[in-house]
Every structure is written in structure tokens, then in C-alpha cells.
């Protein structure tokens, strides 16, 4: 029988990360394995949102560190547990080399499997079971539904759509690809959808990996900081509330947290939590949820800083799914690369399921099938450029811009990522060793 702890009185432990061997101590202090008997099936859900095999990128704060995962596995084995599964459903983008298999390979999960007998499961392989939550159909990976003891291991990061991405948001990786896109629908609020599936999958233990902290997340263009922090609790809401506070955001204003709390007859109130170890104020970092945007929503502040004129890029809304977000960031880099001191005329790039052209632009780029469909009958568009795909290809996005008068540089995204890798590589606080298993 699946164990789902719901204990508002469960303590939250904040402690410094001091290598994989420090993980067991914080779990023990939280009483994290107190109700786990060795015969139970344990499923670990890390955050491996997207590993780019085709482009060098810094993983700091984007994905859960292998060091924390391995420390957790050791703690479980020392507790006597033998049936352990690592499961994830990473973004799939063949052009960028993204898949769960790629993430497992690059993070050394094959070695963890061989060393500790851990099973690896790609949620995309199915099966998925249809579950109706408040009448809304979602397909959820069966291993998540059948696990006796679910351990949620997110990274500590902000999110441009949901303000924070912690344990509850991390569970979205257990949905089928179509169900994930469904959560970004026009009729349903993303935060409410997170509350729905998190209520169904409520973890038995949440261990937030704050070895690195990522602001302006959740993907690879965010800004990472070394933080050496672990947050652990038997109660997922409590863990996420403290995680949000550490990121500098009032958890009572995080809508998926407050929505889930209402569903469970609870309140999100830091003052009522039993917090041990470090004070959250002591380790608080004011992490921005998103890049700064121009007041008229015509583009990021970087447009003004770099003198970009004649191109409008409204900030994406909650209907832009993660698959298209992975293409949106390269599109932004292409537009910035096209800035050669000359006005780009009158162009705009729209995204998601709700943005509609108002006829003010001479050229309207529609990124992704959803945006194309939403504007299909929009007769205000003067010149339509459809960048089709679910998601569209990055190369097609660059080509569409170039063919329609925007001198984008196709290599801009890869060069931006390479500069980030170089910058982090010059700082000894950022260690790629955290993303590899311990040498035996």
C-alpha cells in the first residue's frame, strides 16, 4: 500500500550539504525513514528536466545532483531497503539531444544501477494510467502510482511561470507528454493543475537539493549559485514552503502551494512550521523568478540594454509548455544576435495558446503548433510566418527569422551556452564532480 504522509506537524530540517555522506544524517533528523519498512518498494523522483547532449551547458541548479541522489540511495540501503527505483520523464528533443536516457547516461545513473542494484525507469516508456482529478483526465506513469514510498528530490530553483519549482512541481515529470501540455491549457490554470496531481501523488519524503540554487529558472539560461543546502521533511507542503522562503518568496503567495493547502484543509504559514537546524532567514537568497522585462512587455530588459529595436517579444504566459520553452530560449538568443545596430523593422514573435496578433506588426512569427492554431483565423496578421512543430525545431526557428529579414545567427544559442560553461568553469565553487557518482 502506498504511504503518503500528510502531517502539518512534521519538522523541516535545513542543513549544510557536506558530501553524499551528509544526506543520511538530515534524513534521520527529519524522521524521514521512520515509517519505511525494508520490504517496501521505493521510487526516487529527481528533477532531470532536460539534459542537452547536443549543446554544452551548465547543469548547476537545473537538475538534481548525482551526489545527493547517491547519498540518498546509500541511506536507503543502510536502512535495509532493497527494492529501489529511480524514475524520471525528461524532456524529449532529438535535435538538442534531450531524453531521459541521455540524462541517466550523463549523470552516471547506469553506474548507480550497477553499484547499488537500483532500477532505472523512463516514465515516457509507460505504461500510463488514466486518472481523473476533479473531472480532469491526466495520464500518470504507473510506477509513480504503484510505489509504496515515493521520495521527491527536486533541485532548489525558481520558475518563470510558477515562481518556484520544488517538490510539488517536480511531480509533473511523472505525467505523459500530452498530459503535461494539457496542464498548460487555456481552460486550466497551471498552478491549480499542479495542486491536483500533487494531491494525488503526495510524496512520503521530500529532499530538496540546494547544493546549487538556480534563479530565473527552470532551464539552462538561469543563473546558478553555490548554496550547499539540503531541506528535508516528511511533509511535502512543509518542505516546499520552506524552500520558497529560502528562495526569497513568500510561500503564502505561491499559488500551487496555497491551492494544495486548501484542498487538504491546511494553511501555508511559515510561523507555524517546526523548523530545525539552520534558520531559513540565515540561508535566504533573493532569487528572481524571471528575467527582467520591459514595462511595455515588448521584450526582456536585455533588448533595451543592447539596443534592440523593431522587434517585439512578449513574455510568455502559463500556456507555454516546457517543450516550447526549450525552443523559446534559443529564439531569444537568435533575436539578440540579429541586433547589428539597425532597426529590425516591425516584427513580433508570439508563443503559447493565448497570444493573438493585434495587427500592429508587419511580420508576425508564430512559434509552435498551439500558437499557430490559436491565430489560424486572425485576419489582423499582415504577414504570417508559422514555425510549426510540437515543439518546433530550433534550426527551423533560426531559418524562419533569417528568411524573413531578421539576420539571426544560428550558432547564437550554442555560443551563449558555451560562454556560460566557461564562466562557471572559472569559479571553483562550481564542481562537475557533483554530477557524477563517487569514485569507488
Residue 183 has what pLDDT?
Answer: 96
* C-alpha span between 157 and 287 (Å, rounded): 8
First to last CA, the chain: 35
C-alpha of 92 from chain center: 14
Closest by Cα among 159, 158, 152, 281 to 213? 158
Residue 56 confidence (pLDDT): 95
Residue 157 to residue 67: CA distance in whole angstroms: 17
Q: What are phi and psi of 356, to 5 degrees?
A: -125, 135
Confidence (pLDDT) at 4: 63
Give the whole-angstrom CA distance, residue 146 versus residue 177.
20
Predicted local distance difference test score (pLDDT) of residue 5: 74
- The C-alpha atoms of residue 136 and residue 292 are separated, in whole angstroms, by 34
d(CA 178, CA 367): 18
Q: Decide: residue 83, CB within 10 A, 0-12 exposed, 13-18 middle, 19+ buried.
A: middle
**Burial state string for 413-438 with b = 16 or more CB within 10 A and e = fewer than 16:** bbebbeebbeebeeeeebbeebbbbb
Q: What distance in Å separates the CA atoms of residue 286 and residue 291, rounded to the nearest whole number?
A: 13
Residues 6+ positions from 155 with CB-CB distance below 8 Å: 47, 61, 62, 63, 64, 65, 165, 208, 209, 210, 212, 214
Torsion sign across C-alpha atoms 326, 328, 329, 331: positive
Strand 155-159 to 163-165 pairing: antiparallel
Q: Are 201 and 150 in contact (CB under 8 A)?
A: yes
Distance of CA 90 to the CA centre of its chain: 10
Question: CB-based burial of residue 252 (10 Å sphere; 0-12 exposed, 13-18 middle, 19+ buried)?
Answer: middle
What nine digits make up the cell of 34?
521512520
The rounded distance, in Å, linking the Cα atoms of 26 and 14 is 8
Element (H, E) at 179: helix 177-183
Query: Alpha carbon 129 to chain centroid distance?
Result: 23
Averaged pLDDT of the chain? 96
**Three-state SS for 41?**
strand
To the nearest 10 degrees (0 to 180), the angle between helices 322-337 and 412-425 is: 100
Question: Which one-letter DSSP state was computed for residue 10?
Answer: -
Residues of the chain with pLDDT under 50: 1
**Closest C-alpha to 75, from 16, 110, 34:** 34
Residue pair 379/312 in contact (Cβ under 8 Å)? The answer is no
Q: Distance (Å, rounded) from C-alpha 75 to C-alpha 70?
A: 9
pLDDT at 342: 79
SS3 at position 311 = strand
Amino acid at each position: 500500500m502506498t504511504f503518503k504522509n500528510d502531517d502539518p506537524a512534521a519538522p523541516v530540517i535545513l542543513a549544510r550539504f557536506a558530501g553524499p555522506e551528509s544526506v543520511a544524517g538530515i534524513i534521520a533528523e527529519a524522521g524521514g525513514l521512520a515509517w519505511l519498512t525494508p520490504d517496501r518498494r521505493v521510487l526516487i523522483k529527481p528533477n532531470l528536466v532536460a539534459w542537452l547532449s547536443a549543446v554544452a551547458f551548465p547543469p548547476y541548479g537545473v537538475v538534481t545532483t548525482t551526489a545527493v541522489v547517491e547519498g540518498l540511495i546509500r541511506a536507503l540501503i543502510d536502512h535495509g531497503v532493497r527494492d529501489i527505483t529511480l524514475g524520471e520523464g525528461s524532456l524529449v528533443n532529438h535535435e538538442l539531444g534531450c531524453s531521459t536516457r541521455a540524462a541517466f547516461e550523463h549523470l552516471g545513473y547506469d553506474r548507480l544501477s550497477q553499484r547499488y542494484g537500483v532500477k532505472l525507469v523512463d516514465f515516457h516508456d509507460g505504461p500510463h494510467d488514466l486518472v481523473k482529478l476533479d473531472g480532469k483526465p491526466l495520464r500518470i506513469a504507473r510506477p509513480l502510482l504503484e510505489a509504496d514510498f515515493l521520495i521527491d528530490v527536486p533541485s532548489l530553483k525558481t520558475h518563470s511561470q510558477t515562481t518556484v519549482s520544488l517538490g510539488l512541481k517536480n511531480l509533473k515529470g511523472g505525467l505523459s507528454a500530452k498530459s503535461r501540455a494539457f496542464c498548460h491549457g487555456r481552460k486550466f490554470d497551471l498552478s491549480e493543475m499542479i495542486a491536483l496531481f500533487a494531491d494525488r501523488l503526495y510524496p512520503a519524503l521530500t529532499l530538496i537539493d540546494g547544493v546549487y540554487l538556480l534563479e530565473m529558472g527552470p532551464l539552462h539560461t538561469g543563473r546558478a549559485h553555490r548554496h550547499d543546502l539540503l531541506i528535508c521533511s516528511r511533509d511535502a507542503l512543509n518542505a516546499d514552503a520552506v524552500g520558497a522562503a529560502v528562495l526569497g518568496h513568500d510561500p503564502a503567495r505561491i499559488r500551487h502551494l496555497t491551492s494544495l493547502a486548501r484542498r487538504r484543509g491546511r494553511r501555508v504559514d511559515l510561523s507555524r512550521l517546526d523548523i530545525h537546524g539552520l534558520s531559513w532567514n540565515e540561508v535566504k537568497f533573493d532569487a528572481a523568478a524571471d528575467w527582467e522585462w520591459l514595462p511595455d512587455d515588448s521584450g526582456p530588459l536585455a533588448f533595451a540594454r543592447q539596443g534592440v529595436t523593431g522587434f517585439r517579444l512578449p513574455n510568455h504566459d502559463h500556456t507555454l509548455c516546457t517543450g516550447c520553452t526549450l525552443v523559446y530560449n534559443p529564439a531569444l538568443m537568435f533575436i539578440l544576435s540579429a541586433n547589428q545596430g539597425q532597426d529590425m523593422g516591425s516584427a513580433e514573435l508570439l508563443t503559447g495558446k493565448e497570444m493573438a496578433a493585434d495587427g500592429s506588426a508587419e511580420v508576425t512569427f508564430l512559434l509552435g503548433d498551439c500558437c499557430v492554431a490559436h491565430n489560424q483565423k486572425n485576419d489582423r496578421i499582415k504577414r504570417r510566418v508559422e514555425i510549426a512543430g510540437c515543439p518546433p525545431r530550433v534550426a527551423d526557428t533560426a531559418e524562419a527569422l533569417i528568411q524573413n529579414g531578421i539576420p539571426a545567427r544560428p550558432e547564437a544559442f550554442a555560443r551563449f551556452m558555451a560562454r556560460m560553461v566557461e564562466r562557471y568553469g572559472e569559479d571553483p565553487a562550481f564542481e562537475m564532480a557533483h554530477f557524477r557518482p563517487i569514485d569507488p
